[in-house]
Structure formats: C-alpha cells, structure tokens
C-alpha cells in the first residue's frame, strides 16, 4: 500500500507537470496559427492508451511514462517526421514562422515550469507558512555519531556557523548545504575554526546508504523508548517516554553525556533521575559490564523537544503579500541549489554521479502517506528542476532548439534541416544514455 501511495503521487505530479509544460508550447503555437498535430501525455510508440481528435489535433495518453510531447507541424522534434520536412513549407507550419515566434514557442514550456514552481511555493507559504529549527537555536551544537561526520572533522558540541561563507539558516537544510559547499566554519569551545569539505563528500554520503540516516543531528535528550527483553532493569520502574536527566547524582541534559557517566558505574547498581511529565523520580537501576542499562532510545520530534525546552522552533505565518517574496526566495534557492548539485555531478572526483537517480529515486521522495503540503512541495521542486533541465543546450531539449533559433536571429542564417535532424538524433542518444545511467543507478542501489 505504501508503494502504491508513493507511485500514485509520483504519476499525478509527473502528469500535471508534463501537461502544463506541453501547454506552454501548445498555446503560443495556436496563437501564432501553427497546426498542432498531436498533444500527448506520455509517449505512444506503436499504440495509445487513449486518443481523440478534436479539430486538427489528436489528444492522447501514451503507454511509455517517460514524458510527453506536442507534435507541431513543420518542426524537427522527437517524432523525426522527415517526410513532412521534405515537402515545401506551408504557412501553418512552425518553420514558416519568424524566428521570434518560434523562440517564444520553444521557451513556453520552460516558462510554464518556472512560473508553476514559483506559484506553488507562494501558495505553500501563504497556506502553511514555515516551521523549522533555526540553526542558531542549536546552541549546544551537533551530535556526532558516525564516521562521515568525524571525517569532516566535526565533534559533538560543535556549532556549525557558515558554509561557503554563508550563514546557515535552517538546521534541517544543513546536509544540503554541505552537499553544495566547499568549506564551512564552526565554533568549538568558544573558538571559530575554518574547515574544508572533502571533494568526495557526496561519494562518502552515498556510500552510507539511505538507511544510515542523517549524518548530523542536534543533541537529543536521553528519552527512553522502552526496555529490551534481556534488560537487567526489565522489572524496574523505568517507563517509555521517561527522560533521564541525572545519573547517580550527576546532572545530564543530552544523551551523548550519559554514556561517559554510565561507564563509571559498570556492574553496579545506581540511581537515575528521570523526568516523567512534570514529575521528577529517582529510580534504582543496574548497569551492565559494557555500561548499558538495557533501554531503547526514543528520538523525539522537534515539536516535543520544543515543549520540553530543548529547542525553540521558528514559526512563520505569511499574508499573501508576504508570501510572494518568501515564495520567490524559496524558488531561487531551489534553483541555485540544483545548479550547484548538477555541477558536482559532472565532476567525477566528487562522486556525485552516484546520487543521480531515475524514476525510482524521484518516486521515493514522496511520503508514504498522503500529505498535500509534501505533495505540492515536491511538485514545485520537480517543476523548477524540469524547467532548468529543459533549458540545457542539448539538441532534443527545448534549450537546444532555443540555441539554434538564437543563432539564426543573431547571424541571419538558419541551420539546415539535415543538420537539425542529425543534432536531434545526437541529443536523443545523449538523453537515452543519461536516462539509462540514472535508472541503472536506481536498480543498482535497490539490489545492493
């Protein structure tokens, strides 16, 4: 059921983005009186799931969910309709129209994607606002529990101040800042220290696997999830959701402080101080030879930590007028972050290519339960990503057509039909190669 919910959200989001992107080409083509022969969601090689002709246009749904297309008369595109191009140009064809009109048609899909992404982010800010843990509120620093964070030179208690000289605003966005960055600054024991992010950081991050969890987290209280079956304290008064605030008279605030204290009392019976609601209790417990008391650790959500007085969350509500600049800022950050990641993908030494994913990766980012806020957040991100990807100057993408049209407008010389056909083939091969690599990465990760 969880897979079905994820897949349904993915298909819904993808379908919405494809239809609106193609409308961005379709509408200006119609306005400039160009014949549009097909408007398709997904590709229809050999057959269609559905099709209906209305006027000059066949509207349909294909069976290959790799995108969609509009077939504009007199244009060299993925249909590779060379027979039509061999005939004399007709007034209703794309190739008969002035370059400025063709440029608008080619940019229409990208324009819609960017506008859609911005619009969704603005509406999300207006409807839901923002709630997050500000990085500056993590006053006692981070909790380092894994080798990757140690390889970065981090220690428990370090406060991350900046990445690439920019102040980190949201603690939840810290991992993304490290992915995109080259250097960072911390405060340790009152001293400011500058450090480099290893070039292969993304490679190390990917090698940990998805199940490894976050490489950095704030320091958490010692909250008990429950007692194990073989716990020496199974019959004690310890209960789930108790928060340990003291060990044998020594006050502790965070879980990482507990182990050092417990190690002092191996094979002994001690008193632990727990907070249970508003009550403080002293409970006798036995410590094992390896400094354990046989309990599971509960990682409380930030909202609970705020109630307990550990962290203060930022909670913003926006009027529509305030949501507009907030949504624009989020759109710009989404775009610039994506561009930074793309640059690292094309640098083999970063290992970022390992993180390149296809449909399985995209589908997996949707939540296992329906959440309108999450769905629209992901759809906005995908819309901006799709807009930028289509702007890349690769033949077979909108950006490739734009480059050829701009060349014609600047030089006054139109590229020949044969050249455009060959360029389209080369671009198509590049895209298929990239698609195979990305989805191959997904399959490799799935089985490894």
Note the pLDDT of residue 207: 78
What is the pLDDT averaged over residues 368-387? 93
What is the per-residue pLDDT for 351? 75
pLDDT tens for residues 325-374?
999 999 999 999 999 888 888 887 887 777 777 777 788 888 888 899 99
Q: Which of 4-8, 185-189, 209-213, 234-238 has the highest mean pLDDT?
A: 185-189
Can you tell me the distance from the alpha carbon of 70 to that of 93, in angstroms, rounded to the nearest whole number? 14
| CB distance 80 to 421 below 8 Å | yes
For 124-182, write each residue's pLDDT tens digit: 999 999 999 999 999 999 999 888 888 888 999 999 999 999 999 999 888 889 989 99
Indicate whether 421 pLDDT > 90.
Answer: no
| pLDDT of 447 strictly over 80 | no
pLDDT beyond 90 at 245: yes
**Using one digit for the tens of pLDDT, what is the confidence trace for 424-441?**
788 778 878 877 777 676
Residue with tokens 């191959």: 440
SS3 content of the chain, % helix, strand, coil (to 5): 50, 20, 30
Model pTM score? 0.85
Percent of the chain exceeding pLDDT 70 equals 95
Helix orientation angle between 2-31 and 372-391, rounded to the nearest 10 degrees: 50
What is the arithmetic mean of pLDDT over 49-59? 90
- E-assigned strand segments in 217-328: 217-218, 222-227, 243-247, 250-251, 269-276, 279-286, 295-297, 314-316
Residue with the larger pLDDT of the pair 256 and 440:
256
Provide the strand spans (E) within 101-239.
Answer: 130-132, 142-143, 159-163, 166-167, 183-188, 191-196, 217-218, 222-227
Show the tokens assigned to 259.
């182990």
Q: What is the model's pLDDT at position 84?
A: 63
pLDDT of residue 83: 63
Q: Is the pLDDT of residue 79 over 60?
A: no
User: Rounded CA gap, 317 and 310, in Å?
Assistant: 23
């Amino acid at each position: 059921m969880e897979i079905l919910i994820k897949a349904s959200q993915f298909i819904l989001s993808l379908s919405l983005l494809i239809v609106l992107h193609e409308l961005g080409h379709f509408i200006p083509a119609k306005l400039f009186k160009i014949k549009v022969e097909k408007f398709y969601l997904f590709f229809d090689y050999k057959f269609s799931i559905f099709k209906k002709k209305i006027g000059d246009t066949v509207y349909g749904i294909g069976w290959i969910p790799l995108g969609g297309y509009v077939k504009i008369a007199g244009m060299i595109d993925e249909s590779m309709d060379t027979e039509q191009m061999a005939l004399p140009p007709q007034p209703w064809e794309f190739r008969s129209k002035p370059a400025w009109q063709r440029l608008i048609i080619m940019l229409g899909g990208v324009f819609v994607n960017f506008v859609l992404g911005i619009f969704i982010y603005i509406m999300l800010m207006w409807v839901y606002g923002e709630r997050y843990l500000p990085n500056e509120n993590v006053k006692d620093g981070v909790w380092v529990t894994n080798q990757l964070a140690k390889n970065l030179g981090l220690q428990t208690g370090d406060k991350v101040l900046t990445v690439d000289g920019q102040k980190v605003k949201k603690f939840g966005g810290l991992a993304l800042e490290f992915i995109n960055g080259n250097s960072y600054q911390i405060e340790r024991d009152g001293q400011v220290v500058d450090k480099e992010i290893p070039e292969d950081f993304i490679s190390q991050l990917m090698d940990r696997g998805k199940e490894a969890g976050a490489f950095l987290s704030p320091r958490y209280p010692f909250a008990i999830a429950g007692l194990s079956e073989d716990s020496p304290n199974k019959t004690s008064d310890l209960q789930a959701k108790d928060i340990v605030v003291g060990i044998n008279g020594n006050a502790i605030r965070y879980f990482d402080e507990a182990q050092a204290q417990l190690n002092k009392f191996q094979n002994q019976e001690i008193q632990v101080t727990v907070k249970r609601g508003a009550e403080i209790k002293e409970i006798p417990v036995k410590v094992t030879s390896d400094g354990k008391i046989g309990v599971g650790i509960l990682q409380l959500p930030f909202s609970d930590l705020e109630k307990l007085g550990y962290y203060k969350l930022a909670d913003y509500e926006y009027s529509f007028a305030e949501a507009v600049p907030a949504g624009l800022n989020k759109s710009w950050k989404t775009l610039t972050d994506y561009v930074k990641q793309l640059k690292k993908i094309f640098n083999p030494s970063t290992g970022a290519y390992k993180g390149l994913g296809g449909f399985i990766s995209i589908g997996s980012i949707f939540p296992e339960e329906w959440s309108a806020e999450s769905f629209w957040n992901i759809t906005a991100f995908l819309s901006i990503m799709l807009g930028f990807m289509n702007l890349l100057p690769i033949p077979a993408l909108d950006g490739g057509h734009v480059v050829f049209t701009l060349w014609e407008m600047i030089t006054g010389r139109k590229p020949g039909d044969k050249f455009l056909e060959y360029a389209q083939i080369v671009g198509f091969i590049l895209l298929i190669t990239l698609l195979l690599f990305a989805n191959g990465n997904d399959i490799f990760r799935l089985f490894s």
